[in-house]
A and B are shown apart, each in its own frame.
Chain A
């Protein structure tokens, strides 16, 4: 069964350093999401791509976070500079539109990258 891949699985960095996370969605999935999940809370959407275009980045802290999906396949999320409050799990998910009278999407999540900022 195809799965969403993410790397690295764990990352420890010092504040003010730059970090980058990579996500490879399920083949053929046009929609890709990046979430941040703080321990004990639900995932918070950071950015959503449809193919290579950003659909929603309203919750992305653009002063330090950036995301790209240049060829509409894999994606990179970057933080520069990292701050202590960025310590969290960063989850990537992908989806494809399912049929029916209402077009809606089932998301499949990757294993996540756990970030610790010291």
Chain B
């Protein structure tokens, strides 16, 4: 089955700097890759997603890139703010949300 790895497990950056979180997946059939943000004690919330027919997607300060050949995708956050501090999870799934697997998470701390 699908295996999703995520690095780093913790990341600290200064406010205003950029943060990059990387994920790799094993199942070449996966074609949907969302990123979720989970603040302490709260539910995971989708922040951006990308499908396999697209190499890059951007939404304001957040961008995701996908390399299907290498089976990895990355989350990029620019101009980080303290409210970006949270745990970020990547995930991968096949069509119709099958075989949905989450990565282990990255705890991002943005220092003021």
Chain A residues close to B by CB (< 8 Å): 31, 33, 40-45, 48, 50, 55-56, 58, 91, 95, 97, 100-112
Contacts and interface: CB of A to CB of B under 8 A. Distances in A.
Given A41-B105, A42-B103, A56-B98, A104 B43 contact: no
A65 B44 CA distance: 23
Contacts of B43: 91, 109-112
Give the size range of B's interface with the partner: 20 to 34
Given A105-B93, A110-B43, 18 more contacts: A40-B105, A42-B91, A43-B44, A48-B98, A48-B100, A56-B99, A91-B43, A95-B97, A101-B53, A102-B53, A103-B96, A104-B31, A104-B51, A104-B93, A105-B97, A106-B46, A109-B45, A112-B43
22 contacts: A31-B97, A42-B89, A42-B104, A43-B89, A45-B100, A45-B101, A58-B1, A91-B43, A100-B51, A102-B31, A102-B51, A102-B52, A103-B95, A103-B96, A104-B49, A104-B93, A104-B96, A105-B32, A105-B93, A108-B46, A110-B43, A111-B43
